Structure 1
């Protein structure tokens, strides 16, 4: 997060401007998250 704040600014403002479209939970069988 610190690196992102240095490059694009405050993370909270970025999250407010760019809402989640969908969320895929972690899959413990295949060990991945999209």
Structure 2
């Protein structure tokens, strides 16, 4: 997510944000793929 790069985030918050965006990304993939 490019717009988050400009803000000075702490490592913990950045890690949490990455984990959240990855989970969201995987959720989108899982929704598209047939189960």
Q: TM-score, normalised by structure 1?
A: 0.22
Richer in helix (by share):
2
Larger radius of gyration: 1
State the structure with bigger RCO (CA 8 A, min sep 6), 1 or 2: 2
